Every structure is written in C-alpha cells, then in structure tokens.
Structure 1
Amino acid sequence: MPGWAADAGLSVQTDLANPSTRPGLRLPGRVTLTASLGALRVDGVRLGLVVRVEGADGGQSLVEFHRAPVAGPFVLAAGERRVVPFALPVPWETPLTVVADKAPLGLRMGLRTEVPMGSEPVRAPLGPAVAADELRPLFVHALPAQAGILDTLAELGFELRQAALRAGRLPGVRQAFGFHQVIGYWAAPMYAGPMNELEVTLVTDAYGVEAILWLDRRLALSGGGHTSISRFRVNHVGADRTDWSKVLDGWLRRAIDRHAAAASQFRAHPHLTESPQVSRRPDPQEQGGDPGATAG
C-alpha cells in the first residue's frame, strides 16, 4: 500500500523487482509519486536500509545503517504521477537475513523510502513534511564465501541456535557499521568436548570475508566459563571451488587448540575472558569482482 505525507496530498509507492539480494549487489526497483491535491515541490527521494539491533542492555531498536539518494529536487504538477527507478547499492557488510536457507525471526530488514518536501510548496501553504513509505521487507542471502562457511557448519553437525545483530564494534576489526552480526550454534558432537557453543561473525568487504569464531565452554573444569576468539580470512575469488569441509575443520581444530591453551591460562587468571591467542589478520589481497554487479 502507498504511504502518505500528512495533509500534503502526496502518495509514495515503492516496488522492488526482487526482494532477495546479496551483499555487494544492487537492489533494483522504483518509487512512484503522485500529487493528488495540488502541485508539490519535492526536495528529493532517499532510500534507507533498516534493521533491528540489540543494545548492550538487551533492548532492541531500529537502526538505519545505509542511506542513499535516488532523485534530486523536482516539482510534481497537480495530479502528476512520476516514476523514479533505482538500483540501490547493497553494502558489502550488510547483515544476512537468510542463514543456511533459514530466515531466523530475529533477522529482519526493510527498505525505507523518504521524500522530503520544501517548506514553501509550489501552491498549497504547507509546512515541512516527510513522506515515509512503509518498510519493504528484504531477504539478504549469503555470498559464496559466506555460504561456504555457514552451510558447511550445518553439514558438520552444528545446530543453529540464534542469530542477532548486536550494537558495538569488534576490537581490531575494520567495520563500516556500529553493529555486528552474531550467528550462534550448539557445538557439533565431534567438536563438543572442548566447547559447548560456537558463535560466528562474518565481516565482509569487496575482497573477502573475515570469520571471527567465538568458542564458549560454559562448564569448564575450573568451575567457570571461558570464551576464546580466533580469526580467519577467505577471499571471494575461488570460494565456489573451495573444499569447505577441509577448510572449516582446519579452522575449528586450530581454534580449539587456542581455546584449550587459553583455558589453561584462564585457570591461572580467572578474570581473563578472551583468548590472547588471536590469529593474525592476513595481509589484504585485492581480488577481482565488480562491486556494482546487479542481481539477475
């Protein structure tokens, strides 16, 4: 249904060619504006991506993490209907809302349309107004490198526990946004001895994906809990030809070794909450690929 600017006589309708997309692609669609009462001066059309983020206090709030203009100022004549096509770039770091072919309830994303209007419309003496279109739901699917990691975890027996967006930045990790995505799993049987839970954060850029693995042992022999962190990186190029079972098993075994080593230090230092043995981030390698590709 169209959105309306209060008392302005402006209807705003946003339509997507396809609500499914991936990070790094472009989201095609159109915004249709109609002046129903009289001529209007429109200051532009803006699109924003909105998600629900969990704060440090456990509460949730809507956050617009990406905004882009798709049209500049123009005048709508009385009764005029104007269509504004767009191809919105989807940032590389956009969180996923579809994980291993599932859409967890905690992962919702919408497209918001805003149409600011001038304080002196062409005819009717209206005050400043902004028409905010209803949020259009989006479904963000994984890129091959992201899918290789998440799908293989499921194949190895890790059971999806939760998925959420948490406010805050990760120390030492280059991030575009002030929040990060956490995908939690119950440990697979073959890896369940040293850990109970695994949390995965994927930070993606134009060249690859940095995977941060959080291993958690709630009932350690020391009588407390222990969490350790390991980081790995994979490039987009060649991701579809990677032996992901071998890669993930290697990552997990190395992470478990660090986890066990840090656990011994944890017993000596009970206030230590993260492993000091974090794998070094590989040097960036520029790879091919068109950041502005359009979904087919």
Structure 2
Amino acid sequence: MGFFKKMMAAAGIGAARVDARLHHSAVRVGEELRGTVTVTGGKVEQHIERLNLGLTTRYRDGEEWATHTLFSLPVVGSFSIRPGEVREFPFSLPVPYGTPLTVRGTDVWLVTDADIAGGMDPGDTDPVQVLPDSRMATVIEAAQLLGFMLKGSEVEYHHGRLVQELSFTPPYGQYSISELEVLMLPAQGGLDVVLEVDRRAQGLASLFVEEFETKGRWFIPDAQLQQGPQLLAQDLAGRIRQLR
C-alpha cells in the first residue's frame, strides 16, 4: 500500500498541497507583497526542495497573447512534510518597477509552486492588484483633471523588457484627438514619460487618411511631480496640444 501511495503522489494524486494567502491583494509598485504560504501534507511523506513565489502577467505578441514571468524567487529552502502535516511560511516579495499596473486589459497574479523530489510539483495562483506609486499616480491624476478617462492598457514586449501603455479617452469635443496613450518608465530623479496621441480623421479626410499618430518624450523631475497633479496638468495640456 505504501508503494502504491508513493506512486500516486508522484503523479499528483494525494500529494502535498500549497496555498498562498495574501494579507492584502493590492500593492503599489515599489512596495512589498506580504502573505503566508500554507503547505499541507498528502498521504505520504514528501521532500520539498524549495517553495517558489513569483509574479506573472500576459502581453500581446502580434495577434497572440503570451504569458510572461516577471520574476520567480525561492522563499523557503528544503524541508520534508509528513502526511496530513500543515506548515506555514510567511513571505514578503518586492514588487519592482516595471511591473504592469492592473487596469482594464492587464492582469497580474502571484504564482506559488513547490519543487518536490520525484513528484509532480503542486502550485497555486492568486490575482494581485498592482497600483501606481505616487509619481505615476500624479501623472494619471493630471490627465484625469484635464477630463481624460483611463479606459485600459496594453502590455507589449520590446527590446528585452515589458512596457505598458495606458490608454485615455479625451473629453468630448476637446483636443481634437481620439486617444491619448501614456507610457511611464522610472528614471534617475524622476519619470520618463512617452506621450502618444491618435487623431482619427473625420469627414472627407477619412476617405484618404484613417489615422495619424505622433509621439513625444517627456522627462518629469521628482521636484515637479511633488508639486502635485494640478500644476502638472497645465504642462500636460500644453504638450498634448503640441502633439496634435
């Protein structure tokens, strides 16, 4: 019977289980994600070589969607788990800059897995809400003060890194554009922001040209960001008008 149970556990039946529980499912970029991983023993004793935790997202690759692991770290070293035994391991994971914000069109989730010697590795997934840090939030609020509505985002893979474009709908009848896209990258002493405006032709012009796109790069120093979204909104409005 013992041999049969071991064979079943190796196939994942009656094996140990892992379950991650987050203290808070929302976390800001640059902060830490905290929680506890619970490991419950199966029907036989098993040796777990390590517990791994990481963040994963999806990005658009042409017409397809691809899953991308942002990072995966071992948080617990090797240990054995007896049948029915329950062990808990607290964890704290940094959420690095470059992690996509979870807005419409973009999901991020925590992946928990255990490396089991001679057995199928159990796993667990939990959704995570990634919020902007104070600098990114200032840029988003500045756009919203101008009447722009955040409608979603898209994550793409460029030059060995993920980039996320936030899409905003302009206030009706203003700016003569159909969409504002904002890409924010952390930089020394501030934020690098790329603005892109889409101006869809109207009326007879649409018979000849469907869409124009223009892009502008904008470095915002920390000192300007600390002044708040109202002053930044004035600068943003001027830059959008220059790009039209």
Name the CA distance, whole Å, in 2 between partners of 1:237 and 1:79: 56
Task: String of CA shifts for 1:174-200, please: whole Å, max 9, x gaps.
Answer: xxx63211111222357523x332111
- Kindly indicate whether residue 174 of structure 2 is the aligned counterpart of residue 168 of structure 1: no
Indicate how the Cα distance of structure 1 residues 41 and 88 shifts in structure 2: closer, same or farther if over 3 A, else same: same
Q: Does 1:10 align with 2:16?
A: yes
**Equivalent in the alignment of 1:231:** 217
Q: Structure 1 149/184 Cα, relative in aligned 2: closer, same or farther at 3 Å?
A: same
Offset from partner CA, 1:209-250 (integer Å, 9 cap, x none): 2211101222186942321111223355774x4142332332
Match of 1:149 in 2: 139
1:140 maps to 130
1:75 aligns with 80
Indicate if the aligned counterparts of 2:224 and 2:232 stay in contact, CA closer than 8 A: no
CA distance in 2, matches of 1:151, 1:93: 20
Kept in 1: contact 2:179–2:197 (CA 8 A): yes
Name 2:89's counterpart in structure 1.
84
2-structure distance, mates of 1:237, 1:66: 31
Whether the aligned pair in 2 keeps the contact of 1:56 and 1:167 (CA below 8 Å) is: no
SS at match of 2:121: strand
The equivalences for 1:206-285 within 5 A come to 208-219=190-201, 223-224=208-209, 225-235=211-221, 239=225, 241-257=226-242, 259=243
Structure with bigger strand share is: 2
Q: How far has the Cα of 1:96 moved from its partner?
A: 1.1
Instruction: Tell me the residue number matched to 2:62.
Output: 56
Aligned to 2:35: 29
- TM (normalized to structure 1)? 0.70
* Correspondence for 1:93 among 98, 102, 105: 98
For 2:76 and 2:222, locate their aligned partners in 1 and report how far apart those are by CA, in whole Å: 32
Partner of 2:4: none
Deviations 1:70-129 (A, max 9, x none): 11111223332211110011111111115xxxxx2x22221110101112xxxxxxxx42
Measured after TM superposition, the shift of residue 25 of structure 1 is 0.7
Distance between the aligned counterparts of 1:12 and 1:206, measured in 2? 39
CA distance in 2, matches of 1:7, 1:207: 53
CA contact (8 A) 2:179 2:198 kept: yes
Indicate if the aligned counterparts of 2:141 and 2:229 stay in contact, CA closer than 8 A.
Answer: no
Counterparts of 1:109 and 1:236 in 2: how far apart (Å)?
A: 27
Q: Secondary structure at the match of 1:93?
A: coil
One-letter amino acid of the counterpart of residue 109, structure 1: V
Normalising by structure 2, we get a TM-score of 0.83
**SS across alignment from 1:184:** strand
Aligned twin of 1:107: 106
Q: 1:112-169 CA deviation, whole Å, 9 max, x = no partner?
A: 10101112xxxxxxxx421111x21111112111111112211211133332222334
* Structure 2: runs of 5 or more not aligned: 1-10
* Deviation sequence 1:25-47 (CA, Å, 0-9, x none): 11111111121212111010011
Unaligned ranges ≥5, structure 1: 99-103, 120-127, 170-176, 261-296
8 Å Cα contact 2:142/2:232 also seen in 1: no
Distance, in Å, in 2 between the alignment partners of 1:21 and 1:196 is 31
User: Which one-letter code corresponds to 1:187 in the other structure?
Assistant: P
The DSSP-based 3-state class of the residue aligned with 1:24 is coil
| 1:204 corresponding residue in structure 2 | 186
Measure, in 1, the Cα distance between the counterparts of 2:122 and 2:99: 25
- Give 3-state SS (helix, strand or coil) of 2:113's partner: strand
Cα pair 1:92 1:205 within 8 Å, conserved: no
Q: For 1:231 and 1:76, how far apart are their aligned partners in 2?
A: 54
Q: Deviation of residue 206 (structure 1)?
A: 7.6
Determine if contact 1:144/1:236 at 8 Å carries over to the other structure: no
Question: Hey, what does 1:131 align to over in structure 2?
Answer: 122
The one-letter code matched in structure 2 to 1:97 is T
- Identity over aligned pairs, percent: 24
